[in-house]
Chains A and B, each alone.
Chain A
Amino acid sequence: MTTLADLIDDPAFDREPPPDALSRLHGLVEDHDPYEFGFLDEYSKREVRRAVLTAVAVPGYQVPFGSREMPVARGWGSGGLQITLGIVGTDDVVKVIDQGEDAGVNAANLRRLIQDVTDVEVTTDAREATIVQTRHRVPEEPLGPDQTLVLQVPVPEPLRGIEKDQRELRRMHGEADYARMWVSLYEDYVRNGVITRTTGYPCMIGGRYVMATTPIPRWDIPKLHQARFLSLFGAGREKRIYAVPPHTDVEPLTFDDVPFEVERTEGAFCALCGAGSPASGVESFLIEVPSADHSRWVCSDTDWCSRRRGGEAVTHTDLVEAGMGDEPDDESEDEA
């Protein structure tokens, strides 16, 4: 009985064929990069784009899509990353921020990943970017019609706090039955004297769907209303994409006699650029550098803050040296 071992000793299985043939077979399979442009296979990119188009056509509606597993964990921007990689082209310029910062570890990691798999140009300057992927902020710099904002969404369902059952949630959105949401806001107000919703404030989009504005602060919500730019929201773990197209009404849910309030702290101003001080004439979203006796404040949007200080774009290295990078540095006295 012939065995495989016998066969391989057979002359027909000569292990040293002429070099021509060897190069022939090997030549046909060389040069294979396991990762293509944009990481996702082309079918998956088309699927993301189809979901995006549906989302744009029905503003505020959460479009289910077959979310792929990405090289970042679910909850770490996998939804935003799928949108960015689904829409990015070779001539795009990408900016990535987390908490308003380009230098944060998560922003740096995502920016590196996008660049590695697409080789597109990246920037920290909001004016140069065609795609801005962000977690928790909308840039202070007003974006224009040729720019797309991609927001990473951890929890896309605005009604989850008042209803857990998904079939009921689908009915509520389908029938625009938001009565319990209004009751919940009313309860909040009478109990606390203010509406205590913090980030991700629920908004009515185009007069039809209530939408979760991701955890962007209330400060950023007016920037989405009748905006000149397209905002795309990607929730990878929950497999939903939704959108606010340009020139769409984004109305925070509140009562006629209870004005919508954004984050403001009396007397706070940026210790670096001065935004927020009466003299500066501009305001920005500030984050606290806490101290028991004397807290100070800085802009969360580091790109905008640095350009204000320089009068134009400055390097991010300058920012790091000024104490806005990873290591807090108390020597920065660059107050406006």
Chain B
Amino acid sequence: MGYVAAKGGLEAIRAAEELVRRRRNSGTSPWLETSQLTERLRLAVDRVIGEGGLWAPDLAARAFRQAEGDVIEASHLVRSYRSTLPRLAYSEPVDMDHLEVLRRIVPAYRNPPGPQLLGRTLDYTGRLIDFTPDDVAQAAANCEAPTEAEEGPAADADTASDDAARRPGRLYRMLRDLDLVVDRTNPDDPEPYDITRQPARPGAPRSARLSTMARAETGALVQLWYRNILGPDNHLHEITLGEVRHGHLPVPVAHPRTGRPVAIGRVRVTEVEAIEDLDGIDEDGSRFDVGYGLCFGHNERKAIAMANLDISVHRDRGRSALEQSVLQTTDGLDASGFLEHLKLPHYVTFRSMVERKMARRSDEARGRAQAVHGLGGDEPDPELNNEELCR
């Protein structure tokens, strides 16, 4: 067999990989443990999980380290690993009322049913770089290590045992009881669309949009939201948030022998309800409607943008390109991969383009263009909008 290594490119690639590996792993600082990432850079790891579409914190941390902190590259590592794994089961549908909150705020009411629980948040902390010397901060951290002595009686025994504090009722239900929202209950209970098995095209059911946004790139959703608030598209109102939650969600699968659900563990998710003011002429202006956002990990920006876009696409009813934008332009891997493919060699296509530039300059071509149109071949013609098809 006449295989001969096409050496030039391969050797350079190997050297580049080796350079990355050496510079990432050597140096004077200690080895970076994945537990350091899951504990101290929690939000970055959560983004990798969310945009990778796979709850696997240790794997996400490993990918984040391998990708030198590039969230999209790390998500790519996770996603392509997914392609090698069998789908063992679908979970039983999780009732979102089983979310055990770690944080829950309700911007729409001062005293909603259930707590306004700030939890682990930096929202109300001044954005000031902490200049505490490292040795002082480290010494303080060592003192804060949890000790048995601290574990006296529960700080607030009456709420600790109170399930209502960990699984508070949701605002949407109260709004329904007050007859303030349109009834959106879908009695058909359609099978959810699986975007990992079937590409979602405009006209796809809402479940496809929700799945798409749940693993979309955070920045893409934020940008699409902002573009629709301030930018040229303008499909969105500024919305009032009903619920912003971060918490534990059980993963129930059917027991193989009894068929009854088994919670094999739990994941962390962020959940948002966005209350939209209906003002269209074909809408029930005496009520509100609500959009929904849910994603893996702690990522409030993403869940808020998702809930806003969910209700906006619902109201738009396919009249604009918003649905297509949501379904097809928010995936981080798609957008980044295609952007970066511009770095690949394009000399065959460029040569073909140069050849057509020359063809347009030929006397025959210019003659034809003038004869038909009364214009020189090089003159731009504002009347015609003939977009370039190919690249």
Q: Are A and B physically bound partners?
A: yes
* Interface residue A193 (Cβ < 8 Å from any Cβ of B): yes
Say whether B333 contacts A162, CB under 8 Å. Answer: no
Could you tell me how many residues of chain A have their Cβ less than 8 Å away from some Cβ of chain B? Answer: 100
Contact partners of B364 in chain A: CB under 8 A: 193
CA of A320 to CA of B12, assembled, Å: 13
Instruction: Give the residues in chain B near A287, CB-CB below 8 Å.
Output: 347-348, 351
Nearest neighbor of B201 in chain A, beta-carbon distance: A166
Given contacts A70-B83, A197-B390, A215-B391, contact A76 B337 (CB under 8 A): yes
Could you say which of A103, A237, A288 contacts B338, with CB atoms under 8 Å apart?
A237
Cβ of A34 under 8 Å from chain B: yes
Chain B residue numbers with a CB within 8 Å of A202 are 389
Distance between Cα atoms of A161 and B288 in the complex (Å): 39
* Interface hit among A23-31, A61-69, A223-231: A61-69
Q: Contact partner of B348 among A74, A100, A212, CB < 8 A? A: A100
Q: How far is the CA of A216 from the CA of B390 in the complex (A)?
A: 10
Q: Which of B175-202 contact A (CB under 8 A)?
A: 194, 196-199, 201-202
- Does residue A133 face the partner (Cβ distance < 8 Å to B)? no
> Which residues of chain A have C-beta atoms less than 8 A from B369's C-beta?
190-193
Residues 143-158 of A, flagged 1 when their CB comes within 8 A of B and 0 if not, give 0000000000011001
Complex Cα distance, B389 from A184, in Å, reads 10
With a CB–CB cut-off of 8 A, which chain B residues contact A191? 369, 373, 375, 381, 384, 386
In the complex, whether B353 has a CB less than 8 A from a CB of chain A is yes
Which residues of chain B from 1 to 22 have any CB-CB distance to chain A below 8 Å in the complex?
Answer: 1-10, 12-13
Residues of B in contact (CB 8 Å), total 77
- Report A256-291 CB contacts with B as 1/0, cut-off 8 Å: 000001011100000000000000000001111000
> A107-B6, A316-B5 in contact; A199/B337 too (CB < 8 A)?
no
- Interface flags for A53-67 (1: CB within 8 Å of B; 0: not) read 000000000001111
Complex contact A155–B391 (CB within 8 A): yes
| A43 close to B86 (CB less than 8 A) | yes
Task: In the complex, identify which listed stretch (B162-170, B244-252, B354-362) lies at the interface while the others stay far away.
Answer: B354-362
- Listed stretches B74-82, B122-130, B231-239; interface member: B74-82
B110 contacts partner chain A, Cβ-Cβ < 8 Å: no
Q: Bound state CA distance, A326 and B11, in angstroms?
A: 10
CB closest chain-A residue, reference B370: A193
- Chain A residues within 8 Å of B381, by CB: 191
CB contact between A188 and one of B13, B370, B386 (< 8 Å): that residue: B386
Complex: A318 Cα to B386 Cα, angstroms = 46
Residues of A within 8 Å of B359, CB to CB, are 194, 196, 261
Q: Are B7 and A103 in contact (CB under 8 A)?
A: yes
A75, B341: Cβ atoms under 8 Å? Answer: yes
Partner of A237, one of B5, B81, B337, B360: B337
Shortest CB–CB separation between residue B348 and chain A, in angstroms?
A: 4
A73 to B3, CA, bound (A): 27
- A66 touching B197 by the CB < 8 A rule? yes
Q: Do B372 and A107 have beta carbons less than 8 Å apart?
A: no
Contact call A41/B84, Cβ cutoff below 8 A: yes
Docked CA distance A109–B339 (Å): 19
- Of all chain B residues, the one with the shortest Cβ separation from A313 is B2
A-side contacts of B360, CB under 8 Å? 192-194, 196
Interface members, chain B 328-355 (any A CB < 8 Å):
328, 333-334, 336-341, 344-349, 351-355
Contact partner of A99 among B76, B199, B348, B384, CB < 8 A? B348
Chain A interface, >50% SS class: loop
In Å, the complex CA distance between A162 and B344 comes to 26
Contact status of A137 and B348, CB under 8 A, knowing A40-B83, A122-B3, A190-B369? yes
Interface string of A214-249 (1 = CB under 8 A from B): 011111000000000000000001111000000000
CA distance A49 to B353 in the complex (A): 35
Contacts of B115 in A (CB 8 A): none
Q: Nearest chain-B residue to A265 (Cβ)?
A: B355
Contact indicator per residue, chain B 201-227, by CB within 8 Å of chain A (1) or not (0): 111000000000000000000000000
Centre residue among A67, A170, A217, A263 by max chain B CB count within 10 A: A263
Is A36 positioned at the interface, with any CB of B under 8 Å from its CB?
yes
A189–B371 CA distance with the chains assembled, in angstroms: 12
Please, which residue of chain B has its CB at the minimum distance from the CB of A200?
Answer: B390
**Partner pick for B201 among A64, A76, A288, CB 8 A cutoff:** A64
With beta carbons under 8 angstroms apart, the residue of A75, A161, A238, A288 that contacts B387 is: A161
Chain A residue numbers with a CB within 8 Å of B114 are none
Whole-angstrom CA separation of A84 from B1 in the bound complex: 20
Chain A neighbourhood of B83, CB < 8 A: 39-41, 44, 68-70
A325: nearest residue on chain B (CB-CB)? B8
- Which residues of chain A are near B6, meaning CB under 8 Å? 102-103, 107-108, 111, 124, 316
Cα distance A310–B34 in the bound complex, in angstroms: 54
A73 touches B340 (CB 8 A): yes
A332 within 8 A of partner (CB):
no
Q: Which residues from A are CB-within-8-Å of B260?
A: none
Given known pairs A70-B80, A76-B337, A192-B365, the reply for A108 and B390 (CB within 8 Å) is: no
Which residues from B are CB-within-8-Å of A330? none
Interfacial chain A residues near B390, Cβ < 8 Å: 155, 161, 197-201, 212, 215
Within 302-341 of B, Cβ neighbours of A (below 8 Å) are at: 318, 321, 324, 328, 333-334, 336-341
Q: Which of B2, B366, B384 contacts A125 (CB 8 A)?
A: B2
With A78-B337, A237-B337 given, name 18 new contacts (CB 8 A): A39-B83, A73-B341, A107-B9, A121-B1, A122-B3, A123-B3, A125-B3, A154-B338, A155-B390, A166-B328, A191-B386, A192-B377, A193-B372, A194-B360, A198-B356, A198-B390, A237-B334, A316-B7
A-B pairs with the 9 shortest C-beta distances?
Answer: A74-B337, A193-B365, A75-B341, A108-B9, A69-B79, A73-B337, A239-B199, A325-B8, A161-B389
21 A-B contacts, Cβ less than 8 Å apart? A64-B201, A66-B197, A74-B341, A75-B341, A105-B9, A108-B10, A121-B3, A124-B6, A165-B202, A189-B368, A191-B375, A193-B362, A212-B390, A215-B390, A237-B338, A265-B358, A288-B351, A300-B347, A300-B351, A320-B8, A326-B9
Binding site for A on B (CB under 8 A): 1-10, 12-13, 76, 79-87, 194, 196-199, 201-203, 318, 321, 324, 328, 333-334, 336-341, 344-349, 351-356, 358-360, 362, 364-370, 372-373, 375, 377, 381, 384, 386-391
